Amino acid sequence: MDAGPAWLVDVFSSPSQLLAVEVLRRPLEFTQYTSAEFRGLLAGHGLVQSLSRPGQCWDNAVAESFFATLKEELLYRGVWPTRAAARRAIFEYVEVFYNRQRMHSTLGYLTPVAYEARRRDLTATQAAQAA
């Protein structure tokens, strides 16, 4: 894989899952989100881009809500001696608590893991019935 565009962050490894994950950071210009190069990168990874018209904030609402919750429930309540300790705390918050234990009102008071499992089961059931 080539180095990619300037806004592509390096690959890092998740110690608990032993996965390589590419993380994108916010492009400097909104036009980078709408560029053919960015759309091609997303399509190459099987991702679908969701954008509304310029000046509309709804696409960002879920991310804004998540980061507000992360700050309130974790970051404002602790001090970490190193960047590595902060990364571990954030990883544990997201992977152990937020995704597996914390219920979300927008998901019918299910955890994200339970919601996704229910969706997979429903999709599999519908596919079996259609066959």
pLDDT, tens digit, for every residue of 55-83?
Answer: 566 667 778 888 999 999 999 999 999 99
Dihedral, 87, 88, 90, 95 alpha carbons, nearest 10:
130
**11-23: per-residue pLDDT in tens?**
444 444 444 445 5
Please tell me whether the overall predicted TM-score, pTM, comes out greater than 0.75 for this model. no
Neighbour count for residue 17 (Cβ, 10 Å): 10
| 84, 92 contact by CB (below 8 A) | no
Q: Which two tokens stand for residue 70?
A: 């992360």
